Structure 1
């Protein structure tokens, strides 16, 4: 089966491509560096010719409100139109758990628009909403740093490893379109401030973490539902401490 991965050279895309090739699929890892550009439409028709499944794991290069909105609007419309033309049978998109609860952030409003475009398209689809990745904990911590101190909410977060994200997406590729959303998450939930304390301790970061229930997450006021999945997510296997140990060993 031919599968096209949009954003196929990135953190998730490269891992997903490896898994799908090992399973015997024909995989096109599409990205601007490979001559496939969803913003301009360059190379899309050629890449999608004969494809049965398209997996979109591309992300906006900018988290600025308008830039992210422009990216997901333009890329989404171009990609879905090309899929209709190519007769793609299943569109799979990677999104974020809690997107509809995080709309005070321009980035998440852009992700919501992406999801809305997918739902309005005639292409059968599955939207895979994932929790935040372990690989992004450093950036999340940095977003809360003021005067050398990380001020972070104690709201629950249930992050997961990029390897588990790729494994979950590879499973969805083999399934029928859900025509809706499924959630994937890590195996444990813990407070955001505690997560960052563990990360700092493991990486030798001496900065202090201050618990601030009012601290915003990329502009959003958090509660325990903001960043955690519902009652029936698919759970990854890799725990945060295990990921930290692997990171240290590498």
Structure 2
């Protein structure tokens, strides 16, 4: 199967490319470093070439209101080019619970991106993942003042990026779902407890203070971004991953 991965040189995309190539699929990785500008459309038609499937793993450059315009423009360009190229399946990487968090600009932007895919001309699959284990350190750092980290009790269900990539690969090589599948890790943590656990294992002496107004996740309802009942649940536990 011929698969084009947009964002294929990025954190998730590069891992997906490796996973698909290991399964003997013909995979092309595309991103800015390969000459693709998804915002202008430059290099997009050439990138899709004779692919059967296109997977979109790109991320917006910011988490503010600019994300909506970015996802709108890039997805419109991708859908139009995919239709011209005769692509039979588009797969989008998205985030669990975004439709339940209207107060976060980035999540509203991802909802818009999903709507464009659903209403577009290409058979589709949407893979929603919970927060990646690999990003928890960064999340903890967002609200750190050097010696103290302030975190709300919003519940997270982190997933190892390898298991999210496995789901992406399975979906990309199967028939279009014309629907959504979710993937999450096996354990749920309040974010403040997750922060304490992470810092303790890292031997990081910063202290965690519970603060329901701190950071992006303060605007997320407590249960909004944990896995739905029908989610695909990974086997890698965060405590084992940390170790």
TM-score range, shorter chain: over 0.9
Q: Which residue of 2 aligns with 1:180?
A: 179
**Structure 1: 4+ residue segments shifted above 6 A:** none
Q: Which residue of 1 aligns with 2:209?
A: 210
Structure 2 distance, partners of 1:116, 1:159, is 25
Q: Scaled by the length of structure 2, what TM-score is found? A: 0.95
Q: Which residue of 2 aligns with 1:15?
A: 15
User: Following superposition of structure 1 onto structure 2, how do residues 21-60 of structure 1 map, counting pairs within 5 Å?
Assistant: 21-60=21-60
Aligned length: 243
Q: Which residue of 2 aligns with 1:248?
A: none
Q: Which runs of 5+ in 1 are unaligned?
A: 246-250
Tell me, yes or no, if the aligned pair for 1:155 and 1:222 is still in contact at 8 Å. yes
User: Following superposition of structure 1 onto structure 2, how do residues 1-250 of structure 1 map, counting pairs within 5 Å?
Assistant: 1-66=1-66, 68-146=67-145, 148-212=147-211, 214-218=212-216, 220-245=218-243
Tell me, yes or no, if the aligned pair for 2:152 and 2:218 is still in contact at 8 Å. no
Q: Which runs of 5+ in 2 are unaligned?
A: none
Moved more, 56-65 or 141-150: 141-150
CA deviations on 1:138-166 (whole Å, 9 max, x unpaired) are: 12112233574222122321011111111
Tell me, yes or no, if the aligned pair for 2:104 and 2:219 is still in contact at 8 Å. no
Structure 2 distance, partners of 1:115, 1:216, is 28
**1:100–1:150 Cα change, 3 Å:** same
Structure 1 distance, partners of 2:55, 2:131, is 19
Structure 1 distance, partners of 2:156, 2:213, is 14
Secondary structure at the aligned position of 2:181 is classed as strand
Structure 1 distance, partners of 2:81, 2:37, is 12
Tell me, yes or no, if the aligned pair for 2:130 and 2:183 is still in contact at 8 Å. yes
Secondary structure at the aligned position of 1:145 is classed as coil
Tell me, yes or no, if the aligned pair for 1:105 and 1:220 is still in contact at 8 Å. no
CA deviations on 1:16-55 (whole Å, 9 max, x unpaired) are: 1011011111101010110122111111111112111111
Q: Scaled by the length of structure 1, what TM-score is found? A: 0.92
CA deviations on 1:35-85 (whole Å, 9 max, x unpaired) are: 12211111111111211111100001222322x122111111100110010
